[in-house]
Structure 1
Amino acid sequence: MSTILIQRAHILSMDTQIGEIMDGDILIENDTIKQVGIHIEPTEEMEVIDGAGYIVMPGFVDTHRHVYQQLFSQAFTNWSLMDYFTRFLDDIGSRLRPQDIYVGSYIGYLEALNSGVTTVLHWANSTNTYEHGLEILKANSQINMRTIIAIADSVQQLDEDANFRKMLRLRDTNSNPLTQIALGAISLDVERFKRSISEAHAENVFATSHVGGAPGEEGLIEHLYEEGLPLNYINFAHCNQLSDKDYEIFAKENISVSITPEIEMLMGHGYPPFYQILSKGGRPSIGADTTSVVGADMITQLRVGLAYTHSVHNELVNIKGEEPSLGVFNAKSVLEMGTIDGARALRMEDQIGSLIPGKKADLIMINTTHHQTAPLYDPYNYVLMNAHAGNIEQVMINGHWVKKNGRLNNAPVDIDLLNDSTRFMRQELEKYQGVRV
């Protein structure tokens, strides 16, 4: 049995009962948190970690990331949303080889781990064949990150019936306990979309879909709700251009929503709908979306979400001639969105998202002693405004260290495979004149 004791850390449990503990201890047995408290007595067989000078908190839960697109690291930053649809999903994405999906997934998982993400919903929307899916599973087995893989074709190859069969086949193939297979449902055809949702529910499969990132889907959630569809089995990403009634339903029914603020403002989805959902009592989660456009750092997404939502609230207050105020958002609440709310969005709150006995040991340790970021006053503000991948020095998933002393434990990707995929991608991108790659 593996037993690890972290001592004297500043613990942000993200649990309402345990709360924040200064000079706290966490006892981990195998893959599970056994005890959280003060002055836990060590024994000879324990690996004892000195947590003094560290904030220990749950690992981040990224509820919407196209992990494999790390292969295109920031190549699409100057593309609009329509450019992404026509150039990538309708063109390049349809020609990705299985090895390209493997390489992109492998390095994408490493990027996420490095910035403290311990659970990710991987929206794999270029899983064009079963063999592509096997390559993602191969990357997962080598990285061992807690992952939900949403299986979907590129838009050009869209055949939802074939995709559903492929998803079920990959689900039956998967043997990794840290990996779940989900359905990436496309909402272009509402009737087929409704059938996809019902079929996924019948198979007890989680589903996820992009909605409201472009005009024309206002009222879609209300329509699906009135049709009696099982919306609690679905994660909806973006949701920027929906109706007030849609947002009310999200809050009332506790429906899973993932907002990706930096991407949405850069590419033209619409304004991130934090305020619309929070003001109605809902709790959205947060994702990075695609590192083909933005960086992989989850804390940046959380910080952008806080700044944007404050600006919306304060603009409404300014219009009324009143003094700006904190509004519905603060550092603690946005960190909850990146941890326990993310776990709820993925229906995994009984396993992850907070540091309490009985949950899986997924956590990060943030060094607070670096001279660039000292001193520490409010730990929630510190994490959100000062922390970055460089001072997230230790990352644990399922009781195993995947990053320790600032270094990832996984081997780097095969450089020959990476170079081959990069050459292939450069050739694919050259056709778009004026696109610097």
Structure 2
Amino acid sequence: MRTLITGGTVVSMDPAIGDLGRGDVLITDGVITEIADRIEAADAEVIDATGRIVLPGFVDTHRHTWQTAFRGLGADWSFEDYLIAVHGTVKPHYQPEDVYLGNLLGRLEALHSGVTTMFDWFHAALTPAHADAALAGLRDAPGRSIFGYGAGYRTEERIAAEVRRVHSGVSAGGLVTLALALRGPGEAPMGTVAEDVQLADELGLRTTVHVDGLNGNRPITELMRRDLLRDTTTFVHGNGLADDELRMIADAGASVSISPDVELKMGFGWPETGRMLAAGLRPALSIDDCPAVGGDMFSTMRTTLSAQRGLDGGLSSRDVLSFATVDGAHACGLGSQIGSLTPGKAADIILVRADDLTMFPLNHPAGALVTAGHPGLVDTVLVAGRVVKRDGVLVDVDLTALKARLLESRDRIAAAAGIAVDGTWSPS
């Protein structure tokens, strides 16, 4: 099967190809096979990209998707408020069906806004059924997803048997794959951290972990001392990490993910974008949690650019677009498969309307995407060559029914927890 995307402004994110003011992209059996000014493919299904920017889908490297039902509730929360509210108050009342709906609707929202690959950082596995439901929610959304199994926040329970069980049911070659969301130094005893890392080594899983250097913490040094620093680990946030610890991450070949909106508003400090770049790291981007911030990559890119330019003026919109595509793919271990429009890579592609008044006239495509883009402009989304959103609408999804189920889920949890969802409840 062949598909031809024709007549769009192509932002390939591949230096060898560059940008095409008017270009075509040919897809064969889900793989990009040609990019050129004009391509003749009489037998191909045609997608008219006139007035559209054609670019690789976004990669979100860290999202707690199960919390979707409480979107916006944490707009005014500190991090401690978040811990009390989400982990202490509502999570104990989650049933597997609630997790399923949060993951499904959250993953669909991400697809709707152009996130073709998403790392689901899951830490609500109250029972095996909760983990299975979270995985099912990702599978029922037509996106490329990584299920990051986590033991919970600040827990010491042993998870090896459960992770092996989940691992046995996840195919390494499918659209939904498995990783391990580690408990890091400061969240669990180092013996527990070591067990988690060794489990990931045994199963061949990539890992991700929240870290910071606030209050003098030196988590990377702790990992290095115990030979637990891996090139397959993504370190999330990293606010306050010392310069030498950032260099340790870079020297190990590991990656970093920043969540600038959450980091700024919840008191983590300035996103460490510039310091990471200076240490030889290319940060990937992530949403983190939708109770506190919006779920789209456009907002995240905009904050990333504004925050760092406000500090030193040393970041470009092209850099930030790379964080959201190429560098995100690398952080997920998928750099050879996705992240740029390159022949031989999977056709994870989005078309963004450039003829909308918020983008018109289109002069500097990367700059326009980062500074003026928003989810309402995402016209078409393809994952592995399959169209999952067309003309601004998700394909073959009964959103009316799913929304009704998510509202029922939210109301049941809120009633059981005894909280209001109109913004009047304060966790602290």
Q: Displacement of 1:214 after TM fit?
A: 4.9
Residue of structure 2 in register with 1:108 after alignment: 106
Residue of structure 1 in register with 2:215 after alignment: 215
More moved, 423-432 vs 199-208 = 423-432
Tell me, what secondary structure is at the counterpart of 1:34?
A: strand
Q: Displacement of 1:27 after TM fit?
A: 0.5
Q: Displacement of 1:286 after TM fit?
A: 0.5
Structure 1 residue 390 corresponds to structure 2 residue 376 = yes
More moved, 120-129 vs 226-235 = 226-235
- Tell me, in whole angstroms, the C-alpha distance in 2 between the residues paired with 1:183 and 1:270: 26
Tell me, what secondary structure is at the counterpart of 2:119?
A: strand
Q: Displacement of 1:168 after TM fit?
A: 2.0
Structure 1 residue 402 corresponds to structure 2 residue 399 = no
Tell me, what secondary structure is at the counterpart of 1:215?
A: helix
Structure 1 residue 417 corresponds to structure 2 residue 405 = yes
CA deviations 1:76-102 (Å, max 9, x no partner) are: 222211122233213422331101101
Residue of structure 2 in register with 1:323 after alignment: none
Q: Displacement of 1:137 after TM fit?
A: 2.1
CA separation of 1:426 and 1:55: change in aligned 2, threshold 3 A:
same
Residue of structure 2 in register with 1:319 after alignment: none
Structure 1 residue 87 corresponds to structure 2 residue 85 = yes
Q: Do the aligned partners of 2:151 and 2:183 also contact (CA within 8 Å) in 1?
A: no
Q: Displacement of 1:400 after TM fit?
A: 0.7
Question: Which segments of 5 or more consecutive residues in structure 1 lack a partner in the other structure?
Answer: 314-325
Residue of structure 2 in register with 1:184 after alignment: 181
Letter in 2 for 1:95: H
Q: Displacement of 1:169 after TM fit?
A: 1.1
More moved, 186-195 vs 341-350 = 186-195
Tell me, what secondary structure is at the counterpart of 1:197?
A: helix
Q: Do the aligned partners of 2:89 and 2:417 also contact (CA within 8 Å) in 1?
A: no
More moved, 5-14 vs 336-345 = 5-14
More moved, 344-353 vs 196-205 = 196-205
Residue of structure 2 in register with 1:98 after alignment: 96
Q: Do the aligned partners of 1:65 and 1:287 also contact (CA within 8 Å) in 2?
A: yes
Tell me, what secondary structure is at the counterpart of 1:10?
A: strand
Residue of structure 2 in register with 1:365 after alignment: 351
Taking only aligned residues, the RMSD between alpha carbons, in angstroms, comes to 1.9
Tell me, what secondary structure is at the counterpart of 1:210?
A: strand
Letter in 1 for 2:32: I
CA deviations 1:21-67 (Å, max 9, x no partner) are: 22111100121111111221121x31112222111000000001111
CA separation of 1:416 and 1:369: change in aligned 2, threshold 3 A:
closer
CA deviations 1:278-303 (Å, max 9, x no partner) are: 12221010001000111111111011
- Tell me, in whole angstroms, the C-alpha distance in 1 between the residues paired with 2:353 and 2:99: 34
- Tell me, in whole angstroms, the C-alpha distance in 1 between the residues paired with 2:269 and 2:403: 38
- Tell me, in whole angstroms, the C-alpha distance in 2 between the residues paired with 1:216 and 1:351: 38
- Tell me, in whole angstroms, the C-alpha distance in 2 between the residues paired with 1:109 and 1:269: 26
CA separation of 1:6 and 1:416: change in aligned 2, threshold 3 A:
closer
CA separation of 1:72 and 1:295: change in aligned 2, threshold 3 A:
same
Q: Displacement of 1:360 after TM fit?
A: 0.5
Residue of structure 2 in register with 1:244 after alignment: 243
Residue of structure 1 in register with 2:265 after alignment: 266
Tell me, what secondary structure is at the counterpart of 1:271?
A: coil
Q: Do the aligned partners of 1:93 and 1:154 also contact (CA within 8 Å) in 2?
A: no
Residue of structure 2 in register with 1:338 after alignment: 324
- Tell me, in whole angstroms, the C-alpha distance in 2 between the residues paired with 1:352 and 1:209: 23
Q: Tell me the TM-score normalized by structure 1.
A: 0.91
Instruction: Give the aligned length.
Output: 419
Q: Tell me the TM-score normalized by structure 2.
A: 0.93
Structure 1 residue 198 corresponds to structure 2 residue 184 = no
The within-5 A match list for 1:4-15 is: 4-15=3-14
Percent identical among aligned pairs is: 31
- Tell me, in whole angstroms, the C-alpha distance in 2 between the residues paired with 1:113 and 1:95: 27
Residue of structure 1 in register with 2:152 after alignment: 154
Tell me, what secondary structure is at the counterpart of 2:140?
A: helix
Question: Which segments of 5 or more consecutive residues in structure 2 lack a partner in the other structure?
Answer: none
